[in-house]
Structure 1
Amino acid sequence: MELPQLVAQFVETQNTYDSETYVTCFTESAIVHDEGRTHTGKEEIREWIEEANEKYRSVIKPLQYEESGLNGVLTAEVSGTFPGSPIVLKFHLGLKGGLIDSLKVTG
């Protein structure tokens, strides 16, 4: 599947557990909503993804990507060390200036 460069980098850095490069996909003031929690700014996002990587060892397999204006939705099979793995999740991306400004993960 052909993904835009930013989305491909987002997936690749998740799948290689590269939290430092992962946060470069986001704006300085980006907001992430996942598992009922909100993480604001690159530092909180880095802490969140490091904790999630250690806890779940998640790998994203893209199934579909749609983009409309400044919004994108990545549908992906996510596998890892969590109950019910693998599952299909949607990553709702708000885009700004070539970066992710918001991310909401839904089931």
Structure 2
Amino acid sequence: MNLPKVVADLVETQNSFDSVAYANCFSETAIVFDEGKTHNGRKEIECWIANSNERYKATIKPVGFEEKENKILLIAETSGNFPGSPILLTYHMEIADELIQSLKIAG
């Protein structure tokens, strides 16, 4: 699967639990929606993913990908310390200037 660099970087940094590098895949003003909460800006995103990594130790394996203009849909098998693992999650992303502007993670 040929993923755009920022998406490949996001997968790699998630799977290595590197919250700083993960957050650097996002713009300074990016927004993340996950588990019913919104995280605004790179610093909040870094705190969110560090906490999530600590709780769930989730890794992602891309199984599907679509790209249309600046919108990306990544379907990934997500495994970790949570009920029902592994599950398929969909990562809805908007990209600008090679950085993620928004990410919504849905089951």
Alignment-mate amino acid for residue 79 of structure 1: S
Report the Cα distance in structure 1 between the residues aligned to 2:24 and 2:42, rounded to whole angstroms. Answer: 8
Instruction: Give yes or no for the alignment of 1:10 onto 2:4.
Output: no
RMSD: 0.5
Give the superposition deviation at 1:52.
0.2
Q: What pairs up with 1:23-42 in 2 under 5 angstroms?
A: 23-42=23-42
TM-score normalised over the length of structure 1: 0.98
What secondary structure does 1:105 align onto?
Answer: strand
Alignment-mate amino acid for residue 21 of structure 1: A
Report the Cα distance in structure 1 between the residues aligned to 2:6 and 2:31, rounded to whole angstroms. Answer: 17
Alignment-mate amino acid for residue 82 of structure 1: F
Report the Cα distance in structure 1 between the residues aligned to 2:60 and 2:2, rounded to whole angstroms. Answer: 15
Q: What pairs up with 1:44-63 in 2 under 5 angstroms?
A: 44-63=44-63
Report the Cα distance in structure 2 between the residues aligned to 1:20 and 1:44, rounded to whole angstroms. Answer: 11
Give the superposition deviation at 1:3.
1.2
Among the aligned pairs, what percent are the same residue? Answer: 52
What secondary structure does 2:45 align onto?
Answer: helix
Report the Cα distance in structure 2 between the residues aligned to 1:38 and 1:77, rounded to whole angstroms. Answer: 22
Give the superposition deviation at 1:4.
1.3
Equivalent position of 1:96 in the other structure? 96
Give the superposition deviation at 1:96.
1.1
TM-score normalised over the length of structure 2: 0.98
Alignment-mate amino acid for residue 47 of structure 2: E
Instruction: Give yes or no for the alignment of 1:65 onto 2:65.
Output: yes
The answer for unaligned runs of 5 or more in structure 2 is none
Report the Cα distance in structure 2 between the residues aligned to 1:73 and 1:40, rounded to whole angstroms. Answer: 20
The one-character-per-residue Cα deviations of 1:66-98 (angstroms, maximum 9, x if unpaired) are 110110000000000000000000000011111
How many aligned residue pairs are there?
107
